[in-house]
A and B are shown apart, each in its own frame.
Chain A
Amino acid sequence: MMSTREQSVPPDSRIHIDRYDTDTLVIRLSGVWKLDLELPSTASVIREIESQQPVRGVILEDKGISGWDSGLLTFLVKIVEHCSTAGIEVTGNALPEGVRRLLAMARAVPARAGGKKEGRREPFLPRVGSQALSFWRSTLETAEFVGEAAIAFARMVRGRATFRRSDLALLLHECGGQALPIVSLISLLVGLILGFVGAIQLRLFGAEVFVADIVAIAMVRVMGAVMTGIIMAGRTGAAFAAQIGTMQVNEEIDALKTMGISPVEFLVLPRMIALIVMMPLLCAYADLMGILGGFIVGVGMLGINPIEYLNRTQEALTLTYFWIGLFHSLVFGVLVALASCLRGMQCGRSASDVGSAATRAVVSSIVAIIVATAIITFLCEVLNI
Chain B
Amino acid sequence: MTTPEPVITVGNLEMGYGNFVLMSDLTFTVNRGDVFIIMGGSGCGKSTLLKILVGLKPPSKGQVLHGDVNFWHTDAETRESIQRRFGILYQSGALWSSMTLAENIALPLEQYTKLKPDQIREVVALKLALVGLAGFEDFYPSEISGGMKKRAGLARAMALDPDILFFDEPSAGLDPVSSRLLDDLILELRASLNTTIVIVTHELASIFAIGNNSVFLDVEKRTMTASGDPSKLLAAPPNPNVHKFLTRGENQHA
- On A, residues with C-beta under 8 Å from B are 35-36, 69-70, 73-74, 77-78, 97-99, 101-102, 105-118, 348-353
Contact = CB atoms under 8 A, between A and B. Distances in A.
B98 interface: yes
Contacts of A107: 129
B42 interface: no
A87 B166 CA distance: 40
Given A70-B123, A98-B193, A35 B138 contact: no
A351 B97 contact: yes
A74 B130 CA distance: 11
Interface stretch (B69-77, B114-122, B211-219): B114-122
Contacts, number: 81
A36 B194 CA distance: 20
A77 B185 CA distance: 19
Given A102-B192, A110-B134, 15 more contacts: A35-B115, A36-B114, A69-B161, A70-B123, A73-B126, A98-B193, A98-B194, A101-B191, A101-B192, A111-B135, A112-B133, A113-B135, A115-B135, A118-B138, A352-B98
Contacts of B138: 115-118
19 contacts: A35-B115, A35-B119, A35-B123, A70-B123, A77-B122, A77-B125, A97-B192, A98-B194, A105-B188, A107-B129, A109-B132, A109-B133, A111-B129, A111-B135, A113-B135, A115-B135, A116-B135, A352-B97, A352-B98
A102 B130 contact: yes
Contacts of A74: 119, 122-123, 125-126
A109 B188 CA distance: 15
A35 B114 CA distance: 9
Nearest to B138: A117
A333 B130 CA distance: 54
A290 B142 CA distance: 47
B123 A111 contact: no
Interface of B: 97-98, 113-115, 119, 122-123, 125-127, 129-130, 132-139, 141-142, 161, 185, 188, 191-194
Contacts of B129: 77, 105-107, 109, 111
Nearest to A100: B192
A117 B103 CA distance: 14
A102 B161 CA distance: 13
A70 B126 contact: yes
A74 B136 CA distance: 17
A105 B142 contact: no
Nearest to A76: B126
Contacts of B97: 350-353
A101 B127 CA distance: 14
B135 A36 contact: no
B161 A70 contact: yes
Nearest to A78: B122
Contacts of B193: 98, 102
Contacts of A351: 97-98
B112 to A, nearest CB: 10
B183 to A, nearest CB: 14
A105 B130 contact: yes
Contacts of A106: 126, 129-130, 134
A116 B137 contact: yes
Q: Which of A35, A97, A98 has the largest count of B CB atoms less than 10 A from its CB?
A: A35
A89 B141 CA distance: 36
Contacts of B185: 105
A98 B191 contact: yes
Given A98-B191, A108-B132, A116-B135, A70 B127 contact: yes
Given A102-B130, A112-B135, A352-B98, A35 B142 contact: no
Q: Which 4 A-B pairs have the closest CB atoms?
A: A112-B135, A115-B135, A111-B135, A111-B134
Contacts of A118: 138
A258 to B, nearest CB: 20
A117 B161 CA distance: 27
Nearest to B129: A106
A24 B117 CA distance: 33
Nearest to A116: B138
